[in-house]
Amino acid sequence: MNRLTQRFDSLRAAGAKCLVPYLTAAYPSLDASLALLKRLTNPRIGAIEIGFPFSDPIADGPVIQTSFHRALERGFRASTFFAGVKSARAQIAAPLIAMVSYSIVFARGVDAFAAAAAEAGFDGLLVPDLSLEECETVAAACKARGLSLIMICAPTSDAARRDRIRTISAPFVYYQAVAGITGERSSLPADLGARVAELRGGATSVCVGFGISAAAQVREVCRVADGAIVGSAIVRRINEAIDAGKADASIVDSVAGFVDELAEGAA
Q: Is 191 a catalytic residue?
A: no
DSSP assignment of 161-177 equals HHHHHHHHS-SEEEEES
Q: Indicate which residue of 9, 31, 56, 60 is catalytic.
A: 60
Which residues are 130's β-sheet partners? none
Q: Is 129 a catalytic residue?
A: no
Q: Indicate which residue of 31, 49, 56, 226 is catalytic.
A: 49
Catalytic residues: 49, 60
